[in-house]
Structure formats: structure tokens, C-alpha cells
Structure 1
């Protein structure tokens, strides 16, 4: 294999045989680099090296078919790690993701052999970052196979997303793959220095930036903070209150809808509401200046809100605190209301992005609210909304994220996905998670508080959140890096297709 300096000649049996080895190794590494529960972060850097070796040393049909199958399997592995039951819709989502994530490899296989060294180096990374951005615009958001999610514990590395956004991690991982393959195809001291040395220098610069950003942060140096309490209801009431409120019953028939209005259900709703109000009063009495409930903590009918919301306003007014409540109206609403210390309602926000194939409520379009308070700007998105970087790109100091998860996905959703939004945008974050992991972070992604709520009890977590955010380039410029990647991808494909790119030693 050391003598191979370009792309595959399908007539070469040795290459074809070896390519299956690279596919197998790449797939095996991919299954522990999902951005899920079973991650080995370093595997995310090595998997694309072997997958790219497979596509570059296989015939065109084999390369395209193999990479689609491998990446579909990776998507299925992520779904399995989340404990999500497979059905036709989930299978189609996995297949679609497999096809989409194979596109950068397909472009590399088709065009990179007609480009010079720089073109071959940058086509795959640009296309990979662009694809992550485009997928994040779909209903799956950035929660499935975005490479940054696999690096959730490497805070020094992740600081680069404050400049370029989350897709820059996918760009760097793919760049490592093309640099390694440049060396693999033409191993020499010059290649090691040119590609290996340059990539190592880039990584050193990125990590140095991250270390410096964290080292010079103000955390621990006496920043102003606000005392916040995150409250979740107890599961033995909340779970039966939502029985039958599933995708299988959406949209609801008259019989299903009537089942949510029975006297028994209304008793459950009332008990949950009373306990949440009691816990809120206790939290305020314990010093909380801001109280946040988990997603749809209070289940109720639409007709109940007229009597319920004034009670929350009174709690906020009496306690001189801010109270952000999560309300769920079966099959209709997933929303939050913020009340200020004068009892006024300061926002009413509805969830934009229900979880595809899982959450029985219609999507809604509204911008995250922003409210000025004595402890900085407050904003709010709900659970899965925080999987969408563009929606979460809000200029605020504190972001509140009511959530609801389950055991297989709980840690991942809070600590690997939602946490990234704090780094990208420079705000503190509190994610209050029912049946999951409640987490609080500063503007650099450092953990300020964490609580496992899977025990189903009336959990309350107290944390002091910094009240002054930091400006980030990503928050200011948005997905400019993704658009640069779009321009680069189009330009490189055009140069290769038009014959203006410098050809490699073996044409595709």
C-alpha cells in the first residue's frame, strides 16, 4: 500500500481487498464516536481517516455504497445509544442521515483526484462543515452526528466554537483525515513535515487559544452572580398525568382528547401544580432570586391557565423574585411564562422544535425572548430548541433551558449538546431537566452545578450563575464560517469539474 499515491484503480485486487479493511476499521471507530453515551473522543479523529482511505481506494460504486452503509449504521448506533425504539420513520431518518453525511466523501471521491494538493486537502473538510450546518437547519438540528458533540469534555478544543461555531470541529476532524491520507498516499519526510507538521501546528494553536481563553476568564475572580433554583416535579405524579399523550395518538381523536380531561387527570394536574408552587415558595425563601421549572412541569388544560397564571404572578410578587414556569397542554402547548418581582408577565415562549417522531405537539415559530433584569439579560429556549445553534444564537447573559429527557440520553443532551450553546454565545446557562441531568454552565462551558434527576423525586438544584455574558465572534457573525465552507466547496468542485484543478498523480 505504501506505493499507492493517488486514487483507486478498481482493477487492482490488492487495493480492493484492503479497502474493506479500512471500511471495517473506520466503521468500528465510528461506533464509539457518535456524540452519544459510549464515546471515545479520540476515535472521532481516527474514524474518518480510514473511511476516507476506503473511499479513495475503492471503485466509485463500492466507495459510494460502502460509505452510505457505514454512516447509516453510525446513525443507527446513535439512535440505539439513546434507547429510542426503531420504527419505519426512525429507520428512514437514519438512512437519510447516512446518505447526507456520505456526500462529503462522495465529493472527495469524485473531484479530489482532479485537484492539486491543497484542493485535496480542503475539499472534504469544507464539505463536511457545510453539511453539518445544513443538517442543523433540518428538524434533527445539531443533535445527530455533529462532530462537536463527540468532543464535549475537551473544553480547550471547544473554545474554537466561540469564534467559528460548532461546525468548525467537524472541519478540523475532516482536515486531520485528509492530511493523514496525503501522507498515507505519498509517505515521505516532506509529506510528514508539510501535512503532519502543519496540522499539528494548527491543533496546537487552537488548543492554546482555548487554554488561554479559559485561563483568563473571570470565573472565580468575583463576578456578579444570581442565585437560581431549578425545580422538577415528582415522576409518580407527572408520568401518569401524561399517559396517552404520545405520537401514536397524535393528532388526538375525540376519545383520546377526552381522556386528558377526566376528573382523575385533573386531580393529578392540580397535585402537580400545588407541589411546584410549594417548592417555588421554599426556593425563594432559601434565597433564590430566579426560579426555573423543567419542561412542561405543570400539565394542565388550556382552560386552567386563566386561574393558574395569576397564582404564579402572586408567588413572584410576594417573593420579589423572577419565576419561569414550564407548562404543558396535552397535544397543544409546550410553553414557558416568566413573571417578574412585580408580578408582571415578562414573556410567553412556545417551543419551536418538537422532537421528530417523538413529541406530540405541533411546531411553533417564535424568537427566544430577551428580558432586561438587575442581573443581566435573561433568555429562554425549551429542551430540543437548544439543539439548534442558529435559534440559540441570542445576545443574552443567562440562558434558561427547561428540559425533559430519559436515562439513555440524559447526560448527553445536557453535558455534550446544550452545553455547547453557552460556549458559542458567551452566556451562562441553566438546563433544568426532568428525568435527566440538570446542569449549569458558565460562558466557557465550565460546570457550575449538576444534578441527576432520574430518581423522579421533587428535585431542586441551587446554583450561582454569573450575570455578565461575554461577547463571542460567533454570536456576532453567526454562521459565516459555514458560508465560507460553502463557497470553498463550490469553488473546488467547479475547478475539478472544469479541468482547471491540478490533477493528482492518478485521475479518479
Structure 2
């Protein structure tokens, strides 16, 4: 292969700059330019292939850390050390696939050499997700692709990692073309292999969407967050911020929390009278003291019974005294007969921001006339294994903050398509979204741009089976195995050649 002059000498730093710039808008859901996510690895690989092994990796890793700082600062959480480290460390780890490619791409046959980088990218993404307390927040290359519906259907088979693989595969294909100066006979095999797979994925996704039948039965769902007016009245009474609940605070706290809770109950009644059969609140929309929880739930059960609705209640329960953690973040599902069907504790608190008593991470599923209802809470959706369950409608009460709202809403789309259910994500301080099992948008509201913090939507009562729902992360594990096999093959060849 011939070397491209622009990949050597000082010119190669132009590739580094281009790659970093594209990465900044290709990996952030808030500034997302979806096509940039396909392109930035091409430029970074051009740089690392033209640099010394260690030097190239260190430069890319350094800029990755700088990028992490920028993204965390833009999200308004620069001072939260666990979040900063949780973004910076995975960022460095996600540079490892470029290092692996640099070491192996000349030591394998042309097609296998192009598969090293995408396999390594998926392997690192997947393993980071398994060990990181942040789940998929700082990992998948595919995070910006939630609006590409034909492409998105692949996650029903491979999970989000299949999209990442195809996107990462483009980088070595283009680099081969650049190294061969676009000499068609030299690149024909790898180019046709990539194009064939990509066309097959897009055609299959389009066919899946075209063959999707209209839902025969729909149910009216109302998502409710506390009104901003009630939030302001509550804060005027008491803006609770002390490390523990003190006895002398309780009378004032009850007054402040009552404003929130009464607003939720009143607006739930209105939506039930308007025809909603399922009413779901945002995460920690209601706030109660531990000793007041039974009385609060009595009111919730009476409301569900009176209005004959399924009521999904998002509650922050403040624990007494100096208990650590200081609160529970729970979602309770109440049936129309007033019985509590499930009580779910948030399983994955946000590191550095939430002191909670975590739950077991098993999403409860309840059989109803409107299909199987399941629920998790907000950050749990960053962990695909937690949401991998057989349901028809997944309720995800959530609470965001400015700077992450678009990325969090987009993430919910992947979980719905992976598992074949409709997903209702009612959110305070962010974007509420409802999508069906194909990722098609059914409803979307922005907490910051409307005076009515409600989302009213008709949702299919039946989901669909998916391959991913059966085999789970098999594709990701195959990438891990394939990468390990490629590394072992090269090592054994070197040992053999020396022998």
C-alpha cells in the first residue's frame, strides 16, 4: 500500500484536529450532528496510523480527556468529580481500539484487518458498560443515531452495539482507500463487503418498518410532572437542603411537600376524567416523609380506585434522622381496584449526585387489560440489562437537568427497540418522550418550553418479540471473542516466526 502524504509529518496533526472537532459533535447528544459520529474515527485513525504507536495513542487520549471536560462542563456538572472521572476514564478507554488497530492492521488479511477496529470498539463499549456505574452514558458510538429509523431496527437483533460496529467499520474501510489512493482493484473486496452489509441492514430495517402492522388496540396514557407554579410555591415555603430530616423541620416540610403532592393528585384526576387509563408521574414528583408514606399511599390508592386507572406514582421518601442513605427513590404502580401491584426502588443512583437506597434492578412486570406494564426509573435506562424484560409498555419516570435532556430522551429510544415495547418516559426538567417498539415518536414535550407539564398519548397495548430480547448481548460477546482471537492469532504468528 502507498502512504498518503497527508498522514505523515506535520500534516497528520490536521487529521487529529479534524477528528477531535468531529468527535465533539459526534458523541454528544446535546450538540449532536449524527453524520459526525460516522466520520470522526476516520480522521483519528488516519492520525494514529501515521504516528508512532505510543505517541499517537497519547495524543488521542489527551484530547479525549479534554473533550470529556468540555462535555461535563456543558452539562453543568463540572464540579461533580465522579461524573468528570466517569466521563474522562471511559473516554481514554475508548481510544484503545485505535491503538489495537495501529498494532494489528498490517498483520492480518485485508478483510480481517478492517474488522479489528469495529470489534475492538464494540468490545470496549460493552465492557465499559458492564463495569461503569454510568452504564451507556459515555460509551456507544451509536448514541446519536436514534432518529435513523431503518438503521435503528438493527438494535432489535444486536442491541445498540450492532450500530456501533457498522459505524466504526467505516473508518478502516476509508483508511484503506486513502492508503491505496482509491485504487479500485485494491479496495474492491473490502468496499463491497461493507456496502453489502450496510445495504442489507438498511433494507432489512426499512422492511421491518414497512411490515409493521397498525396497533389494533391503544390505551390513553397521561404523563404528569409537577407544574412549575407548584414547584415555585413549594420552594417559597421551604427549599429543603439539609443533610437529614430534623424533627423541628417536619411541620414546614409537610406544608411544602403538600403543595407538590396535591398538584399531582389534582392533575391526575383531570387527566383521568379526560379518558386516561394509565397515569404516570415523573421521577420523585411527589415527596413525603417516611412516616407519612402510608397515608400518602392511601390517597393514591383511593384515587386509582375512584377513577378506575392504573396509577404510576414517582415518590421521593425522605428517611428519618441521620440514616444513610437519606432517601428512597421509588415508583409504585397501583391498580384500578386500589391494590399495589409493584414497588420499585431505583437500582442505579447517579454517582456523586444521589444518596439512595438502591433496589435489586429487577423490573417488575404486571399483567393488565392494557398489556404487560413494567417500570424502572430514569438512570436505570442507561443499563440495557435492567430494561431487558418481556413487557408491552415500559414506564420510565425520570428527572433530568438542562444540558442532558436531549441525550437522555434519545437513549430511551434504543431500549424500546431492543426489547420490543412502547416506552413512556415522563420527565421533569427535561424532555418527556413516548416511542413505540420500532422507535417511532408518539409524543414529545419539553418541560422548559411549556406551561403544562403533561404528556398525553395513545400507546399500543401489545409489543413485539425481538431477537435481542432472547439472546441479549450475544453480538457484543462475539466481538469480544473475535478481538481476543485476532490478538491471539497475531501473537502466535510472531512467536512461530521467531521459532
Common fold: TM-score over 0.5: yes
- Give the 5 Å matches for 1:100-499: 100-137=93-130, 138-187=132-181, 188-218=183-213, 221-238=214-231, 243=239, 245=241, 252=243, 256-258=244-246, 261-330=249-318, 331-414=326-409, 416-455=410-449, 457=451, 459-499=453-493
Does the Cα contact within 8 Å between 2:334 and 2:342 map onto a contact in 1? yes
Tell me the equivalent position of 2:2: 3
Deviation at 1:215, TM superposition (A): 1.3
| 1:365/1:302 CA distance change after superposition, 3 Å | same
> Structure 1 CA distance, aligned partners of 2:437 and 2:375?
15
Contact 1:36 1:82 in 2 (8 A): no
User: 2:226 & 2:314 partners in 1: Cα distance?
Assistant: 11
Q: Deviations over 1:389-446 (max 9, x none)?
A: 11111110000010111232223211x1111111111101111011211111111011
In the alignment, the residues of structure 1 paired with residue 248 and residue 335 of structure 2 have an alpha-carbon distance, to the nearest angstrom, of 31
Q: CA RMSD in A?
A: 2.3
Provide the secondary structure at the position in 1 that maps to 2:397: strand
Which deviates more, 343-352 or 18-27? 18-27
Deviation for aligned residue 1:450: 1.2
In the alignment, the residues of structure 1 paired with residue 340 and residue 50 of structure 2 have an alpha-carbon distance, to the nearest angstrom, of 62
Question: Cα distance, 1:28 vs. partner?
Answer: 0.9
Question: What is the rounded CA distance, in whole Å, between the counterparts of 1:425 and 1:243 in structure 2?
Answer: 40
1:109 is displaced (CA, Å) by: 1.9
What does the per-residue CA deviation read over 1:130-175, in whole Å, with 9 as the maximum and x for residues that have no partner? Answer: 1111122221111224112111211111111111100111111111
Cα distance in 1 between the residues matched to 2:143 and 2:3: 34
Q: Secondary structure, in 3 states, of the residue corresponding to 2:34?
A: coil
Q: Deviation digits for residues 277-321 of structure 1, max 9, x if unmatched?
A: 111111111111110000001011111111110111111111111
Runs (4+) of structure 1 moved beyond 3 Å?
86-91, 235-245, 259-262, 455-458, 500-503
Residues 63-92 of structure 1 show CA distances to partners (whole Å, capped at 9, x for unaligned) of 110121132233334323423234544432
Does the 8 Å contact 1:422/1:444 carry over to 2? yes
Aligned equivalents of 1:451, 1:174: Cα separation in 2: 33
Q: Is the 8 A contact 2:7 2:15 kept in 1?
A: no
Count of residues paired in the alignment? 485
- Structure 2: tracts of 5 or more residues without a match: 319-325
**What's the CA shift string for 1:84-106, capped at 9, x where partnerless?**
23454443233312221112112
Q: In the alignment, does 2:25 pair up with 1:32?
A: yes
For 1:9, the equivalent position in structure 2 comes to: none
Q: How far apart, CA to CA, are the structure 2 residues paired with 1:128 and 1:13?
A: 25
Larger displacement relative to structure 2 (147-156 or 427-436):
147-156
Q: Tell me how far 1:455 sits from its aligned partner.
A: 5.0
Which of 59, 64, 68 is 2:57 aligned to? 64
Contact conserved, 2:391 with 2:463, CA < 8 A, in 1?
Answer: yes
Q: Which 10-residue stretch deviates more, 16-25 or 469-478?
A: 16-25
Cα offsets for 1:348-382 (capped at 9, x unmatched)? 00001111222232433230000000111000010
Whether 1:97 aligns to 2:90 is: yes
Task: Tell me how far apart the structure 1 counterparts of residues 494 and 108 of structure 2 sit (CA, whole Å).
Answer: 8
User: For residues 81 and 203 of structure 2, what CA distance do their matches in structure 1 show?
Assistant: 46
CA deviations over 1:431-489 (Å, ceiling 9, x no partner): 10112111111110111111111258452221110011011100111000011001101
Contact 2:346/2:376 (<8 A) preserved: yes
For the Cα contact (< 8 Å) 1:48–1:177, is it kept in 2?
yes
1: CA distance between counterparts of 2:26 and 2:356? 32
Residue deviations 1:245-267 (CA, integer Å, cap 9, x gap): 5xxx7xx3xxx432894322210
Q: How far apart, CA to CA, are the structure 2 residues paired with 1:206 and 1:440?
A: 25
Normalised TM-score (structure 1): 0.90
The SS at the match of 1:377 is strand
Secondary structure of residue in 1 paired with 2:95: helix
Q: 1:433 & 1:191 partners in 2: Cα distance?
A: 52
